[in-house]
A and B are shown apart, each in its own frame.
Chain A
Amino acid sequence: MLRIFQRFWLVNWAEQWQYRANLLMYLLYWLVSPVVYLSVWITIANSQGSVNGMSANDFVTYYLTLLIVDQLTSDITIHILAYKIQDGTLSGDLLRPVHPILVNTLVNNIAFKALTFMALIPIWVVLVLLFRPDYSAVSWQSVLLALPGVAMGFGISFLLGATITCLAFWTTRVYSISEFYYALAVLFSGQFVPLPLMPRVIQAAAQYLPFQMMRYVPIETILNRLPLETVLRDYAIGLAWLAVAWLLFRFVWREGVRRFSAVGA
């Protein structure tokens, strides 16, 4: 099994290295909006001392940590797989004795992360020099405590992303659906603003939704701002969502492949 992963890894790495110019553009995309929101909140925090108890530095550390967590938990399955389902090239993947998504696409995702990380580190260092965050609250324990959260965040976002991608078996408008999903994720995950700044209704909903595990919970855990019992409660909710996402994915995948082979695409 490990060997298979390794092979896929090598092929993927080589393939994606070809597109390093695209990669830079992707990084730019991914960079701009956090920096924009960060600037907005710094401006407000500086003009009135603090926002809802958050100082300018709290915002800087939040968004700079977000850049890394976002990169670790995000998922690009729809870009890898949806077109394969639509134009029928998935049938080639189905012939292989490995799971097309749980091996091939997963490795694709991870290879992409490894690659973007190489470009991300220098950019991140530059941003740290520009914004001068005070990271003194972070300890190795807090980082360690956040790791399961990051893993869960990626697990959930990968499985939900794959589930939505699998809707391509039934509809051609899978990209629109995914855009809708993406908007929800940005709102409820804390990508846009730290959740405590949100209206109460959204905060309350976010607590029980899977999205906060993708950004907010790991970030705040790293930054040591959440009490341990909150972290544990959120992890329990995250674990439940991971199970739900797994079941959803299994169901959609099985039905989808059945339909795919019935249509003979």
Chain B
Amino acid sequence: MHTLRVLAALFKINLQMSLAYRADTLVNILLNLMWLGWELLGLSIIFSNTTQLAGWGIGEMIALMGVFRLVNMLMASLIWPNTEKFNTSIRDGSLDYTLLLPVNSLFLTTFSRMVIWRAWDLVLATALIVVGVNMSGGGATPLRLLSFMLLTGTGAMIIYSLWIVMIAATFWFVKFDNNVTILQALLDAGRYPANVYPVWLRMIVTFVVPIAVATTVPLQALRGELTFLQILLYLGVSLAAFVVASRIWKAGMKKYSGASS
């Protein structure tokens, strides 16, 4: 309850900030739409030359585009702005103030900044997924849809956990501003199904920077390619990743306050 109230207060502050820059918000949404058109054009170019990409039809690719947009939204609305805030707060020492507040520090670090207009992506992504699923025709049983949504959540959780580890690394290696950029740089690889890539790149986007786990895997669930056991495995991995990440965050906090030395 308290957490929700703090979240609401943070939301309100961020909303005010974006309202102060109304025109920018409008321009950003227009640019966002432009990129959407651009991506659709890209897909149409690909599918004017072929009917299938590594066994995936155009409907499935559109749905994948939707899921990719969700991941991108997570990055652009929370991960990026909060990384920036966190790095600044370490540099100028204002992190001290965050730690003094009677609220979970990881929670505050995650939600201090929100780029609210990005919620718009939620609408676009949903539309793309719905259209894509319809175009790919049948196949999508309620059970598959459910596991699709579940795995989208676990994928986001895994990326979020990775992010926690990356920013917590700052407590040990002070000069590590570039940490999160790796995530963003490899993000583009999430636009296409992972089995398109050569083995080495597939390994990277699955295990090192698991973008594919958040984009390709949910779609695989939708196509009914995953067994029940695999779905459980992803669920387990994402929970484990979060537990490990928050442990590392706590250790980082201890290191910061000199409790561990």
Direct contact of A and B (CB under 8 A): yes
Interface size classification for chain B: 35 or more
A6 at the interface (CB under 8 A from B): no
Q: Please give, as numbers and ranges, the residues of chain B lying within 8 Å of A29 by CB-CB distance.
A: 181, 184-185
B44-77 residues with Cβ-Cβ distance < 8 A to A are 44-46, 48-50, 52-54
A126-155 residues with Cβ-Cβ distance < 8 A to B are 130-131
The residue on A at minimum CB distance from B199 is A130
Are B45 and A199 touching (Cβ within 8 A)? yes
Q: Which of A36-44, A61-69, A246-254 contacts B (4 or more CB under 8 A)?
A: A36-44
Are A25 and B28 touching (Cβ within 8 A)? no
A13 at the interface (CB under 8 A from B): no
Q: Which of A78-86, A111-119, A172-180, A229-237 contacts B (4 or more CB under 8 A)?
A: A172-180
A1-39 residues with Cβ-Cβ distance < 8 A to B are 21-22, 24-25, 28-29, 32-33, 35-36, 39
**In the complex, per-residue mask of B17-33: 1 if CB is within 8 Å of any chain A CB, else 0:** 00000011001100100
Are A39 and B178 touching (Cβ within 8 A)? no
Are B24 and A192 touching (Cβ within 8 A)? no
Are B196 and A32 touching (Cβ within 8 A)? no
Are A51 and B49 touching (Cβ within 8 A)? yes
B189 at the interface (CB under 8 A from A): yes
Q: Please give, as numbers and ranges, the residues of chain B lying within 8 Å of A261 by CB-CB distance.
A: none
Are B178 and A36 touching (Cβ within 8 A)? no
- Binding site secondary structure of chain A: helix
Are A183 and B49 touching (Cβ within 8 A)? no
Are A193 and B200 touching (Cβ within 8 A)? no
The residue on B at minimum CB distance from A51 is B49
Are A32 and B49 touching (Cβ within 8 A)? no
B188 at the interface (CB under 8 A from A): yes
Q: Which of B34-42, B218-226, B243-251 contacts A (4 or more CB under 8 A)?
A: B34-42
**In the complex, per-residue mask of B186-223: 1 if CB is within 8 Å of any chain A CB, else 0:** 10110110001110110000000000000000000000
Are B188 and A33 touching (Cβ within 8 A)? yes
Are A25 and B27 touching (Cβ within 8 A)? no
Q: Please give, as numbers and ranges, the residues of chain B lying within 8 Å of A40 by CB-CB distance.
A: 46, 53, 192, 196
Q: How many residue pairs between the two chains, A and B, have CB atoms under 8 Å in the bound complex? A: 78
A78 to chain B, nearest CB (A): 15
Interface size for A (C-beta < 8 A) is 32
B259 at the interface (CB under 8 A from A): no
The distance in angstroms between the C-alpha atoms of A154 and B184, with both chains bound, is 27
B4 at the interface (CB under 8 A from A): no
The distance in angstroms between the C-alpha atoms of A81 and B198, with both chains bound, is 39
A197 at the interface (CB under 8 A from B): yes
Q: Please give, as numbers and ranges, the residues of chain A lying within 8 Å of B198 by CB-CB distance.
A: 39, 130-131
Q: Please give, as numbers and ranges, the residues of chain A lying within 8 Å of B49 by CB-CB distance.
A: 44, 51-52, 197
The residue on A at minimum CB distance from B54 is A43
Are B182 and A28 touching (Cβ within 8 A)? yes
The residue on A at minimum CB distance from B41 is A187
A58 to chain B, nearest CB (A): 13
Are B31 and A39 touching (Cβ within 8 A)? no
Are A44 and B188 touching (Cβ within 8 A)? no
Q: Please give, as numbers and ranges, the residues of chain B lying within 8 Å of A32 by CB-CB distance.
A: 185-186, 188-189
The residue on A at minimum CB distance from B184 is A29
Please indicate which of the listed interface residues A22, A35, A39 has the most CB atoms of chain B within 10 Å of its own CB: A39
The residue on B at minimum CB distance from A50 is B49
Are A28 and B185 touching (Cβ within 8 A)? yes
Contact of B201 among A39, A47, A179, A183 (CB under 8 A): A39
Q: Please give, as numbers and ranges, the residues of chain B lying within 8 Å of A101 by CB-CB distance.
A: none
The residue on A at minimum CB distance from B52 is A47
Q: Please give, as numbers and ranges, the residues of chain A lying within 8 Å of B34 by CB-CB distance.
A: 180, 183
A residues lining the B interface (CB < 8 Å): 21-22, 24-25, 28-29, 32-33, 35-36, 39-40, 43-44, 47-48, 51-52, 130-131, 173, 176, 179-180, 183, 186-187, 192-193, 197-199
Could you list 8 examples of A-B contacts with CB < 8 Å?
Answer: A21-B177, A29-B184, A29-B185, A43-B53, A183-B34, A193-B45, A197-B45, A197-B49
